[in-house]
Amino acid sequence: MRKILLESLLRRPVTDRPPALDDAELTALAARIDVAARRHLGRSLAIREVDAGSCNGCELEINALQNAVYDLERFGLHFVASPRHADVLLVTGPVTKNMRIALERTYEAVPAPKWVIAAGDCAVSGGLFAGSYACVGPVAAVVPVSLEIPGCPPTPTELLRGLLTLLGS
Ligand code: SF4
C-alpha cells in the first residue's frame, strides 16, 4: 500500500493535459458555429448519439463536447435521450450485427427531415473492425449518411468542425 501511495505521488498523471482555454482555432470555430446555428436553426439542434459497436474511444471525445472547454450547448446544440426528439443521429463504431436492428429502429424513430453523421473511422469505413464476422460494416451500409467525420477517434475540435459543415457554413 505504501509503495502504491509513494508511486502515485511521484508519477506524472496518465491523463492528457487539458486543452488551452485561449486556443485561437477553437475560439474561431466557436464563433462560426454560433453564427451558423443562429442562421439555420434558430439556436436549436437536437443530437441523439448512437453507439453502434464502438470501443467507446469516440464516446469519450463526444462527451468532451459537453465540458466547460467546448460547451456545445452554448450554440443551442444539445444531446437528447430519445430519437423522437432528435434532428441528428451521431453514430459511432462499426455497425455490429447485434446493433443493426437497433440502429435501423432508431433511424426510423427520428422525425424527418433528419441527418446522420458517421463519427470516427469505424463508423466511416469499418476501421479496425472492417471485415469482422461480427460487423455488418460502416454506418452507410445500414442507414443513409449525410456527413462523415473521420479520425480514431475524432477530436472534439474535429467533431465541432463536422457539425459546422452540417450547418452549411
Ligand atoms: S474510430 Fe477508433 S476510437 Fe472510434 S470506435 Fe473505432 S477504434 Fe474506437
pTM for the structure as a whole: 0.82
> Which atom of ligand 1 lies nearest, measured to the CA of 93?
5
Ligand 1: distance of its center to the CA of 158 in Å? 14
pLDDT-derived band at 145, boundaries 50, 70, 90: very high
Spatial strand order in the sheet of 77-79: 77-79, 45-51, 88-92, 115-119, 147-149
pLDDT single digits (tens) 95-132 = 999 999 999 999 999 998 899 999 999 999 999 999 99
3-state DSSP helix/strand/coil % of the chain, to nearest 5: 45, 15, 40
Q: Give the residue, by CA position, lying nearest to ligand 1 atom 2.
A: 152
How many Cβ atoms are within 10 Å of 21's Cβ, its own excluded? 9
CB 45 within 8 A of CB 77: yes
Q: What length does the chain have?
A: 169
> Which atom of ligand 1 lies nearest, measured to the CA of 128?
7
Going by the DSSP 8-state scheme, the letter that residue 72 receives in this structure is G
Q: Which pLDDT score is estimated for 26?
A: 79
Grid coordinates given for 97: 450485427
Q: Which pLDDT score is estimated for 154?
A: 95
Ligand 1: distance of its center to the CA of 3 in Å? 35
> Which atom of ligand 1 lies nearest, measured to the CA of 120?
1
3-state DSSP call for residue 56? Answer: coil
Ligand 1: distance of its center to the CA of 44 in Å? 28
Percent of the chain with pLDDT over 70: 95
Q: Which pLDDT score is estimated for 42?
A: 66
Q: Which pLDDT score is estimated for 21?
A: 66
Ligand 1: distance of its center to the CA of 119 in Å? 9
Residues at CB less than 6 angstroms from ligand 1: 54-55, 57-58, 92-93, 120-122, 127-128, 152-153
The C-alpha atoms of residue 36 and residue 71 are separated, in whole angstroms, by: 16
